[in-house]
Amino acid sequence: MNTPMQKPTFCDQNWLDMQPTHGGRICGECTKTIIDFRKHSWAEIQAQQAAANNSICGIYTNKQLKHWGKEVPRKTQDCKRAAAMLATMATLLTATPLVAQNSEVNPIERVEENKSTIIKGTMTDERGEPLLIANVAILQNGSICTGTSTDFDGNYEIDISDCMNSNQKIEVEFSYIGFEDVKMNIEDLKENTAGVIEERNVINYDVVLPQGEIIAFYVRDPDYKAKFGWRVKRFFRKVKNVFKRQ
């Protein structure tokens, strides 16, 4: 008999304040990737969590949390599909063609002008098993500059070019729910790397995370009222910053 998957613990971090990344957003408090499960079926959620030993933090709809352990009733899913179709149609009708603008830019020239610095590698546990949807965060003086997550084979690749154009302290933090974090200064990482390909500015680095405590969390799915309030606060923050610069 299969043991029911434990419902994740609530986390009070604000989804709207998090930096978007592939598959979800990066938590500003713990730098872990919060996966967006709101459009996933229960079977998909269960498969991903089972593969990660039920350690993935995520955002779920209220319906998904209410019906935890089973699929959301069909009526709710049909309404979501209809809403998604209407939103897609509205986007297509209001979208502005960008073909003419893009055709004026030579992609080869752009690459030459802005040479990228990339870190890539694999994240595994102490047994050599790949860690899927593990987190890689680039920190500037302790604050997140950019981030990404590993794929289902534990591989990651992240462009850190924008973060390197400053005199601030640059660190790379590798983390995963249930494992101890590994944080390294970018210069130390280069010294311990599996190899730096100078002509392409690619740093190859494989990391092994030690086992730690396993706890999965979920953040609240913001409703329309929360989204509106967040936009108002963001607007006034921008206005305040403009006056500070004057």
Alpha-carbon span 32 to 124, nearest angstrom: 16
Structural domains in the chain, CATH included, are: 9-90+216-245 (no CATH), 115-208 (2.60.40.10)
Mean pLDDT, residues 89-97: 58
| pLDDT above 60: residue 222 | yes
Alpha-carbon span 170 to 246, nearest angstrom: 30
Mean pLDDT, residues 109-126: 71
Alpha-carbon span 50 to 173, nearest angstrom: 25
| pLDDT above 80: residue 144 | yes
Instruction: Please state, rounded to an integer, the average pLDDT across all residues of the chain.
Output: 77
Query: pLDDT confidence of 22, banded at 50, 70, 90?
Result: confident
Contacts of 157 (CB under 8 A, 6+ apart): 118, 119, 120, 148
Query: pLDDT confidence of 157, banded at 50, 70, 90?
Result: very high
Mean pLDDT, residues 80-103: 58
Output the pLDDT for position 231: 86
Mean pLDDT, residues 52-78: 81
Alpha-carbon span 80 to 74, nearest angstrom: 10
The token pair that represents 169 in the structure block = 């302290």
| pLDDT above 80: residue 89 | no
The secondary structure of the chain in percent helix, strand, coil, rounded to multiples of 5, reads 35, 25, 40
Output the pLDDT for position 182: 87
Mean pLDDT, residues 156-173: 84
Q: What is the pTM of this model?
A: 0.47
Alpha-carbon span 169 to 205, nearest angstrom: 19
> Which range among 28-32, 84-88, 107-111 has the greatest average pLDDT?
28-32
